[in-house]
Amino acid sequence: MNNERLPDFAPVDPTDGRKLGDWPSKYPPAARRAIRFDACYLAVLLFSAPITMMILWLEYPKDWLALSDGKFKPILKYGFAWLSGGLGGTVFGVKWLYHSVARQIWHLDRRLWRIFTPHISAVLGSIFVVVISSGMLRIFDSQAIESLSLVISVAFLVGLFSDSAVAKLSEVAEILFGVSRAKEKHKGGSTPDETSSTSERKDPESSEIVPGESLPNGNVPGGVEG
């Protein structure tokens, strides 16, 4: 097992674990080509998102599709949410790419993550705006989300911190659908009913309760499901 310590992220370790004057790339040519592909892909997304947002803001699609103001308004709103969320995810992907390359932990198997993260962030950004607009998540007033600047800000932050956004949406789902029994077990052990039925049982030849005895199937009562 390789126990070599990885260099910390800057500014904790601005040298990336290198000695002074050690400038050549540590990656072989094939890896450098793959890194350039990842960088070009993210760069295209990084610059195309604001350009597309400008096209939407200038209302070119409205003229191209001959849409009324009422029909174009939701397209503008949720289009900005989609693009802003994708932009946040792209920024996150770019930051992770250059950090992982510098720290020599870049590898090809994470390419799918780098490809799909901006698009997943775009979906989350737009859905988050929809949830706020519906009033289900009362972070802002549902009417306040009509402001395009607020839409862009919220969706970008959702895309940049998509894990936190998913956690918040999970809370909304738990309110709507309840917490699953498996999750309750994972968080707090067995439920009271299960505890009372499994931690104590009667000896078949006496009326006394025998606590902590194994069940017929071999399971130890009161255990937590992993």
CA dihedral sign of residues 142, 143, 145, 146 = positive
pLDDT score at 170: 83
Q: Is residue 131 part of a domain?
A: yes
- 3-class secondary-structure state, position 56: helix
pLDDT score at 185: 58
- pLDDT band at residue 216 under the 50/70/90 scheme: very low
pLDDT score at 126: 93
- Reply yes or no on whether the pLDDT at 4 is more than 60: no
Task: Please report how the helices 162-177 and 69-102 are oriented relative to each other, as an axis angle in degrees rounded to 10.
Answer: 120
Task: Return the C-alpha torsion angle 11, 13, 19, 21, nearest 10.
Answer: -10
Residue range 188-203, pLDDT digits in tens? 554 445 444 444 444 4
pLDDT score at 147: 87
- Predicted TM-score (pTM) of the model is 0.69
Q: The domain containing residue 74 runs over which residues?
A: 29-167
Name the domain count of the chain. Answer: 1
Q: Is residue 225 part of a domain?
A: no
Q: Select from 127, 99, 135, 128 the least CA-distant residue to 8.
A: 99
Interval 122-144 mean pLDDT: 82
Q: Is residue 108 part of a domain?
A: yes
Instruction: Please return the burial class of 143, using the count of CB atoms within 10 Å of its CB with bins 0-12, 13-18 and 19+.
Output: exposed
CA distance 97 to 83: 20
Q: Is residue 12 part of a domain?
A: no
Q: Is residue 74 part of a domain?
A: yes
pLDDT score at 51: 96
Q: Is residue 223 part of a domain?
A: no
**Which comes out higher in pLDDT, residue 3 or 97?**
97
Q: Is residue 141 part of a domain?
A: yes
CA distance 85 to 91: 10
Q: Is residue 135 part of a domain?
A: yes
CA distance 12 to 130: 39
- pLDDT band at residue 6 under the 50/70/90 scheme: low
